[in-house]
Chain A
Amino acid sequence: MRIVSPLNTASEVDALVDAGANEFYAGLLPAAWKERFSHCSPINRREWPQSNFATAEELGKAIERAHERGAPVNLTMNAQYYTQEQYPVVLNELERALDQGIDALIVGDIGLMLTLREQGIPARLHVSTVGTTFNSRTARLYEELGAARLVLPRHFTLSELERLRASTSLELEMFIINALCSFIDGLCTFQHALNVEGYPDLYLGADGCHACRLTYEVKAHGPGAETARKHYQGWKSLLTEGTCHYCGACAIWELDRIGMDSVKIIGRIHDTERKLRDLSLIAWARDLLSEGLTKNDYIERVMARYAEVYGFPCGRRCYYPTAV
């Protein structure tokens, strides 16, 4: 099972490979895009400048070093959609990234997938989680469009995964830690990043960045409404508050059994130290598979490792609760 890590700078490549990353994904937020569409209009679902490389050349340096270490680098171009006037900028930036040696493109918009195919752009296609591949027929559609890998939505049970795995030979990738979206990425119409650098009029408060994470005032309607309201607020706070990261490390045992090809660490916005910490759990858990432990023993060891790495217990905030 391969571990796919976020990458922000060339200088962190060696440390991340040494910590167990097999593959990288990265974003590019070029000046041409920022000038015309601003950076809070999405080019790759991570609108913040610090989550992205600023130039193809900087990205190229990181790719060069990653390739020297045997790690492919995949470029996220996974907006939910691009409009006609955005295509020239997107395609120009794609061309520049491919010139730098990008190994695959992570794409969510079917229009861009069709364009890649029509123009014969020589890129390995990974369908983003934005592509909402929930079933085998969708997988077959993407296979026809040239996909080599499907990055699946976060919201799957293990039995659903097993059935999908049995139906396709495409590579399958799952998210494994951080940022468990409350909502389905490819179908959510909220917009992140409205705390816009350079647009102070849009400053929406310290927690105003993600509409999905706001502390809403909640009113419930129905019998037992007050119970329901408290439940909702408690539930919501599980996703948005506290120090525990949603994590699927324990599920690696099951994901490996099912035949998942790779797991992805979320966190393009994180610094190198945090990425290394996440790898020290996830790569360790992947390597622990070689010991042939029972599932329960494996889970126990991984939960203990989590507490060691982060300094607090995992609190059973699970990406894949049906795996544990």
Chain B
Amino acid sequence: MEHALYLSRTDHTNDLEDKYTRVYFGAEFCQNLIPTAKELGSVLDLCEERKLDLTLLTPYVTDAGLDMLEPLFALMVARRPGSEVVINDWGTLRMINDRFDALVPVFGRLITRQKRGPRLSLLKGKVPDAMVDHFRRLGITVPIVRRFLSERRIGRIELDWPLQGLDVNLDFPDVKLSGTLYEPWVYVTTTRLCLTNACDQPEKVDRVGIFPCGRECETYTFRLTHPTVPVELRLKGNTQFYYNKDVPSETELEAMGIDRLVFEPEVPGG
């Protein structure tokens, strides 16, 4: 099992224990938080110094977001060809395959469309098994999709362990796929109508839309609870998560084809 550390900020390196051989860095959820070339450069320096592999996280993006990613990809090709890029947008995948074949695309945990809503864990025993199964399985592993991904150089998919569990075995006869599991923070949902934007300015409460970012997510987090939701939701920036440390053993995960664990020391995003 490979162990990687999710590095939310360039100065959060205290969690870098020896067991980690890879760093995940970047922005999965918001294009406003895509790192600068300077920030990426400092993480590349860190990886060289500590002999770590690097995986760059990227979010869903508009064309302006693609423009921001392009120089980062060029920098990675120049300094660390063969590095991975987690994509959460079909356009980003296309750009990598068109222009950056020295980078390795990885299928991100948003675009997998894996179901994670915490109330899905309430269904077992109450509805047909086929329905429960649906929410524990992935559409991207049907043969025609995994072939499509393979043709676009995707060999790894990023996963969470949701409360309802996951029914997956990546040992396919036709396509080689490996899995990554993020823990303990499980992604739930995201928005461009950022609920944290201007959250310390009460006069702006009636604004709903996409507005200039003040990076309030670096300061504020929100805890959301409701009697019908079995876990606390954590809002960081534009994205919600929940905490789930109850994942299978490494041996069990490896039997499913999940051969990498990414540890998130804090709520990602923001």
Contacting pair B224 A188 (CB below 8 A): no
Smallest CB separation, B44 vs chain A (Å): 25
B120 interfacial by beta-carbon distance below 8 Å: yes
**A219-B223 CB under 8 A given contacts A114-B144, A204-B119, A231-B200:** yes
Distance in Å: Cβ of A74 to nearest Cβ of chain B: 22
Q: Is B80 an interface residue (CB 8 A)?
A: no
Residue of A nearest to B211 (CB): A321
Quick one: given A202-B126, A227-B200, are A191 and B119 in contact (CB under 8 Å)? yes
Contact of A189 among B114, B139, B221, B223 (CB under 8 A): B114
In the complex, which residues of chain B have a beta carbon less than 8 angstroms from the beta carbon of A320?
209
Instruction: Give chain B residues whose Cβ lies under 8 Å from the Cβ of A114.
Output: 144-145, 148
Taking a contact as CB atoms closer than 8 A, the residue among B91, B137, B222 that contacts A220 in the complex is: B222
A295 is an interface residue with CB less than 8 A from chain B: no
**Which residues of chain A are near B1, meaning CB under 8 Å?**
none
Contacting residues of chain B (225-254) with chain A, CB-CB under 8 angstroms: 225-229, 233, 235
Chain B contacts for A111, CB-based, 8 A: 139-140, 142, 144-145
A231 x B205 contact (CB < 8 A) = yes
In contact, A182 and B192 (Cβ under 8 angstroms): no
Shortest Cβ gap from B139 to chain A (Å): 2
A-B contact pairs, 27 of them (CB 8 A): A81-B139, A83-B137, A84-B141, A135-B61, A137-B90, A137-B91, A141-B94, A163-B62, A167-B63, A182-B193, A184-B191, A189-B113, A189-B114, A189-B187, A191-B117, A194-B119, A201-B126, A202-B127, A211-B117, A212-B189, A218-B223, A227-B202, A228-B222, A232-B222, A232-B235, A235-B199, A318-B209
Q: Does A205 contact B (CB under 8 A)?
A: yes
Do the beta carbons of A110 and B193 come within 8 Å of each other? no
Extra inter-chain contacts (7) besides given A135-B91, A160-B62, CB under 8 Å: A83-B139, A205-B227, A211-B118, A216-B224, A219-B225, A228-B220, A321-B209
> In the complex, A152→B89 CA distance in Å?
14
- Judge whether A238 is part of the interface by a CB distance below 8 angstroms: yes
In the assembled complex, how far is the CB of residue A109 from the closest CB belonging to chain B, in whole angstroms?
A: 6
Q: Point out the residue from A142, A196, A236 that lies within 8 Å of B127, measured CB to CB.
A: A196
Q: Which residue of A lies closest to B192 (CB)?
A: A155
Given contacts A183-B191, A187-B60, A199-B126, contact A138 B210 (CB under 8 A): no
Contact B128 A322 (CB under 8 A): no
Return the chain B residue nearest A144 by Cβ: B94
Is A221 in contact with chain B by the CB < 8 A criterion? Answer: yes
Within 8 A of B (CB), among A34-92: 36-38, 40-41, 80-87
Given contacts A218-B224, A228-B199, contact A183 B123 (CB under 8 A): no
Q: Which of A202, A205, A232 contacts B195 (CB 8 A)?
A: A232
A292 on interface, CB distance cutoff 8 Å: no
A31 to B225, CA, bound (A): 36
Tell whether A8 is near chain B: CB-to-CB under 8 Å.
no
Question: Shortest Cβ distance from A30 into chain B, in angstroms?
Answer: 15
B contact residues around A37 at 8 Å (CB): 128, 130-131, 134
Which residues does chain B contribute within 8 Å of A188, judged by CB atoms?
188-190
Q: Let me know if A217 and B195 touch, CB within 8 A.
A: no
Classify chain B: how many residues form its interface, as a range.
35 or more
Q: Which residues of B contact A221 (CB under 8 A)?
A: 220-223
Decide yes or no whether B64 CB sits under 8 A from chain A: yes
> A234–B225 Cα gap in the complex (Å)?
16
* Cα of A163 to Cα of B65 in the assembled complex, Å: 12
Q: In the complex, A316 Cα to B226 Cα: how many Å?
A: 29
Complexed CA–CA distance, A217 and B111 (Å): 29
Beyond A110-B145, A191-B115, A216-B233, whether A140 also contacts B94 by CB under 8 A is: yes
Check A84 against B224 for contact (C-beta < 8 Å). no
A229 CB within 8 Å of chain B: yes
Tell me if B233 and A183 are in contact (CB < 8 A). no
- Report B-chain residues with C-beta under 8 Å of the C-beta of A228: 196, 199-200, 216, 220, 222
Residue of B122, B195, B204 touching A194 (CB-CB under 8 A): B122
Q: When the two chains form their complex, are residues A81 and B113 in contact, meaning their CB atoms are under 8 A apart?
A: yes
B208 x A321 contact (CB < 8 A):
yes
Q: Which 6 A-B pairs have the closest CB atoms?
A: A81-B139, A137-B91, A155-B192, A222-B220, A138-B91, A216-B224
Q: Is B207 at the interface (CB under 8 A from chain A)? A: yes
8 Å CB interface, A209-266 against B: 211-212, 214-225, 227-232, 234-236, 238-239, 246
Give the distance to chain B from A230, nearest Cβ to Cβ, in Å: 7
Q: Please, what's the 1-or-0 string for A152-192, where 1 marks a CB less than 8 Å from any CB in chain B?
A: 01011100100110010000000000001011101111110
Q: Is the CB of B89 within 8 A of A138?
A: yes
Q: Is A101 in contact with chain B by the CB < 8 A criterion?
A: no
CB-based nearest A residue for B92: A137
| B90 partner, pick from A109, A138, A232, beta carbons under 8 A | A138
Separation of A86 and B220 alpha carbons in the complex (Å): 42
Contact check, A40 vs B200: say whether CB atoms are below 8 A apart.
no
CB-contacts of B76-119 with A (<8 A) = 88-95, 98, 110-111, 113-119
Whether B202 lies near A230 (C-beta < 8 A) is yes
A186 to B113, CA, bound (A): 8
Q: Let me know if A272 is at the binding interface, CB within 8 A.
A: no
Check B116 against A189 for contact (C-beta < 8 Å). yes
Q: Are B195's CB and A216's CB within 8 A?
A: no
